[in-house]
Amino acid sequence: MLRLLIMLFAAAGAVSAEPITLKLFDTPPAKPAPVSEKTAKLIASYGKPGPNHVMDVSEPTMTVYRAEKPNGVCVIVAPGGGYMFMSYQTEGSQVCEWLNTIGVTGVLLKYRVPTRDEREPFAMPVEDARQAMKIVRQRAAEWKIDPKRVGLLGFSAGGNLLGHAAWDAGERPDFGIMIYGGGFLDYNDKTKFKSGFTMPKDAPPMFFAVAHDDKSNPEEATRLYLEYKRLGLPAELHVYSRGGHGFGMRKTGHPIDGWPQRAAEWMMSMGYFQ
């Protein structure tokens, strides 16, 4: 496996051209509701908007990062941010740049936020992700992508987005990579899923990675993995001893830093790089 990875990395290249940004809709189906005072205070507690702190998105876009020697795989990246903002660099652009180094076309999803005051905060972001998947599959030949090898990678709230896109009815990814995602367990009893949630028997293959010291997300990842196991579906789970929440592509000095390589190994073992 190590030898194959070395060969893969050597064959892959950096970005061959500047990323291109496209609107997902001519006119977005809806705009997020006005931000409540409670949500505004919560957003403010995370700091001021900046390059890695993107919010107030009412017109969603997708930015395509094409590898020099694409291997046919595309991964759409959904940053986290509690459906209040997006960690746009450490959980977005830097991830797409890494994907290019292994020959994968990365697509950075800028979904509508904040949606925390919506009845279903994930609904608009999931709609945006599904539209991005449709566009990628429609333009697959142009971008040298196999329309049956389109994955979705999500962090935190982006991981929740991934779960709904993968497990609810509608356009689905061919595989998923969930990094410290959650939101599917009962709020009061983490041994149970939320009322109404059922893992579909044809759920796409899933890779889970999380840190042990990340509040309830290890329980989320483990419970979701066990449901995959119960249904006999392909999945892989990594729980690292330390790393907390929100590490993204940052270097922490802990084994969690190796999650991108583990994800690449998993994609290879699943045959996506053939």
- Distance between CA atoms of 196 and 235, rounded to whole angstroms? 22
> Could you tell me the CA-to-CA distances from 226 to 118, 149, 231, 232 in Å, in that order?
30, 24, 9, 10
* Axis-axis angle for helices 123-138, 157-167 (nearest 10): 70
pLDDT in tens, 34-76: 999 999 999 998 877 778 889 899 999 999 999 999 999 999 9
Cα gap 42→115, rounded to integer Å: 13
Domain regions of the chain by residue span: 2-269
What confidence tens digit (pLDDT) does each residue in 205-243 have?
999 999 999 999 999 999 999 999 999 999 999 999 999
Q: Does domain 2-269 have CATH number 3.40.50.1820?
A: yes
Q: What is the pTM of this model?
A: 0.93
Name the band, by pLDDT with cuts 50, 70 and 90, for residue 7. very low
Backbone angles phi, psi at 44, to 5 degrees: -60, -30
Contact 80, 157 (CB under 8 A): yes
The neighbour count for residue 169, using CB atoms within 10 Å, is: 6
- The chain-wide mean pLDDT, for the chain, equals 93
CA pseudo-torsion sign 50, 19, 175, 140: positive
Query: In this predicted model, which residue has the larger pLDDT, 109 or 45?
Result: 109
Q: What is the pLDDT of residues 160-195, one digit of tens each?
A: 999 999 999 999 999 999 999 999 999 999 999 999
Strands 175-179 and 61-65, sheet pairing: unpaired
Question: What per-residue confidence (pLDDT) applies to 76?
Answer: 98
